[in-house]
Amino acid sequence: MTDPATAAWYLRFAEHEARGESAIYEEWALGVAADAGILALIAELPRPKQQPNLIFAVSRLLGAPEGPYGPWRDWLADHWDAVRAEALVRATQTNEPRRCAVLLPALALVPGPLALLEVGASAGLCLYPDRYSYDYDGHRLDPAAGPSTVLLECATTGNPPIPDAVPEITWRAGIDLNPLDLTVADDRLWLETLIWPEQHARRARIRAAMDIVSADPPRIVRGDATAALRGLAAEAPADATLVVVASAAIVYLTPENRARFIDTVTSLDARWISNEGVGIVPSVRDALQGVEPPRPGLFALGMDGRPLAWTGAHGRSLDWIRPR
């Protein structure tokens, strides 16, 4: 039995996420939204596992043809048992290092040295903002050791506080329900497969970031965002400012668990940087009432529950809204 909500989900994905980013994913999502047979298959999965990104990435991981909807649809129907089994054990873990470009100006507002703790860290690619190079509208910023193999470009408006140097990070750790290990080939392949088919530059950037991180792996604790937070935070060195970062992470928590996470993080002796959809952090949402984003689909960057900027979901843009 098909669920109209699932069809609507795939239609929204096609029109608001894939359009302009991946012609293949847009065509697949539009096709699924109008295909009762494929919707019936997807309905066999628990609701969180029906996510377009997950179904599309799992199919590609297992060898689906990347092209028109018809051949992909036939492949999916023929291989559905394998796709269903894989989807049940996989999760989307978009670990986009380019998000560091929008986090960096917020980090620059915090006195260092810093102890960085990321919630929803995946493989930890966003725990290394000090190891990447940046280009903000032609203003180049490199690590202390020299130019990085990863260059993160970000277009800005509103005169954000771009620092003169990358932050000094003396401790870094993460929490994730399903941490990925970059020394395991399957985990690396899954991260690469989560990149949409036509995004070749993004895939190359993530491969370079994975090489940096795997040379000096962070500590990532397997656990719930809230339950593991206080204990891991207590391990941060006392001579560094603890900064907890959640970027496109707490959106996946239920509203009740999200509220518990916010209560926990705000009770710590720490600064909290959020980079989430506009409605995810209530205090950020309330402060932005009546303030229109410059473009649809932007995230809201916040510090300690107060809005700082609009950001592109994958870090390509930063529109500063808080006076410096």
**pLDDT, tens digit, for every residue of 203-222?**
999 999 999 999 999 999 99
Q: Total structural domains in the chain?
A: 2
pLDDT of residue 21: 87
Q: What is the domain range of residue 77?
A: 4-89
What predicted TM-score, i.e. pTM, was given to this entire model? 0.90
Tens of pLDDT along 8-44?
999 999 998 898 889 999 999 999 999 999 999 999 9
Domain C-terminal end among 89, 119, 149:
89
- Shared domain for 80 and 107, answered yes or no, is no
272/214 same-domain check: yes
What's residue 252's pLDDT?
86
One domain, residues 43 and 165: no
Same domain, 269 and 176: yes
Identify the pLDDT of residue 2: 65
Q: For 297-309, how does the pLDDT look when each residue is reduced to its tens digit (9 = 90+)?
A: 899 999 999 999 9
Using 50, 70 and 90 to split pLDDT, how confident is the model at 106?
very high
d(CA 31, CA 27): 6
Same domain, yes or no, for 119 and 47? Answer: no
pLDDT at residue 313 in the model = 80
Is residue 218 a contact partner of residue 121, using CB atoms and an 8 Å limit? yes
Looking at the structure, do residues 109 and 228 belong to the same domain, yes or no? yes
Residue range 220-243: average pLDDT? 96
Residue linked to tokens 């009432």:
289
Q: Pick the closest to residue 173 from 105, 226, 243, 110 (CA basis).
A: 243
Rounded mean pLDDT of the chain?
95
Please tell me the predicted confidence (pLDDT) of residue 41.
97
| 70, 89, 108 - which closes a domain | 89
Alpha helices (H) along 221-301: 229-233, 255-267, 282-287
> Long-range contacts: 183-192, Cβ < 8 Å, 24+?
183/214, 183/217, 187/123, 189/61, 190/57, 190/61, 190/90, 190/93, 191/93, 191/95, 191/122, 191/123
Task: List, in order, residues 6 or more apart from 179 with CB less than 8 Å away.
Answer: 121, 122, 123, 220, 221, 222
